[in-house]
Amino acid sequence: MESWKESLQVALNERFDSAFAELTESNADVQKAVKQQLDTSALVKNHPKYDDELKQMVDSYFEAVQLLLGEYSRHLYIQGAKDCVTVLRELGVIK
């Protein structure tokens, strides 16, 4: 029973990765934001006051943000699929 959930999770992760790659390639604002994030990350990591305590706090913060964004994206994707099915049912395309 769990294998179908794992397969679904793998498929969702692949779709998210693909969608983000497409978004990054096609949207200059996203490209700029990704570059800004990478540049800022390098600046923070190379900052002279970036000690082990601050590193732990920053890493913890970004892990939480990444988890929240991942869950939010997953929720939106699934909700979009549900909405699509609802619309197709209302149009009589599917039962």
pLDDT tens digits, one per residue of 65-83: 999 998 998 899 889 999 9
**pLDDT of the residue at 22:** 94
12 class by beta-carbon count within 10 Å (0-12 exposed, 13-18 middle, 19+ buried): middle
Split at pLDDT 50, 70, 90, the class of 1 is low
Angle ∠(62,68,38) on CA atoms, nearest 5? 35
Percent of the chain with pLDDT over 70: 99
Q: Are residues 32 and 62 in the same domain?
A: no
DSSP-based three-state secondary structure for 45: helix
Q: Are residues 39 and 67 in the same domain?
A: no
Q: Are residues 60 and 88 in the same domain?
A: yes
Q: Are residues 92 and 55 in the same domain?
A: yes
Range of the domain at 70: 51-95
Q: Are residues 76 and 93 in the same domain?
A: yes
Q: Are residues 56 and 33 in the same domain?
A: no
Inform me whether the pLDDT recorded for 89 exceeds 70.
yes
Q: Are residues 7 and 42 in the same domain?
A: yes
Each residue's pLDDT tens digit, 26-52: 999 999 999 999 999 889 888 888 898
d(Cα 57, Cα 3) in Å, to the nearest integer? Answer: 35
| Two tokens, residue 16 | 């998210």
**pLDDT of the residue at 87:** 95
8 A C-beta contact, residue 91 and residue 85:
no
Q: Are residues 34 and 59 in the same domain?
A: no
Q: Are residues 3 and 40 in the same domain?
A: yes
Provide mean pLDDT across the span 10-35.
92
Q: Are residues 28 and 67 in the same domain?
A: no
Q: Are residues 1 and 33 in the same domain?
A: yes
